Amino acid sequence: MNTPGTGTIDRPGTRDPRKQDPAMNPTVTEMPAPVNSGAIESRQNRNLEMQLIPEALARAHMHERLHQAESERRGHRLAAARRMQRRAERASLRARRALAMAVMQ
């Protein structure tokens, strides 16, 4: 069948690359560039984008939560300011009454 120095593509006769047929092992520089390298690159970009989707969603969610918290803080400050204003108005009325009572006596 096969002579001692020959082999098949799957099983070369020797493992030493210098003794193998050069046509069976083209070097990297002899190999043509893949035609669809742009497709591979876009697929890698799409994979990267898909991996970053949860991060983008989390960032958007945190931005929304911070915005909501700031809005709630503004509401709390406004309510506290109104409470203090009513308290000051009541104190002012008490002071007026006390002054009026002191003048009347």
pLDDT at 101: 93
pLDDT at 76: 97
pLDDT tens column, 20-75: 666 655 555 555 555 566 666 666 777 777 888 889 999 999 999 999 999 999 99
pLDDT at 33: 57
> Is the model more confident about 5 or about 104?
104
State the Cα angle at 103 between 99 and 105, rounded to 5°: 120
pLDDT at 49: 79
d(CA 84, CA 60): 36
pLDDT exceeds cutoff 90 at 88 = yes
Q: Which residue has the tokens 């098949």?
A: 8
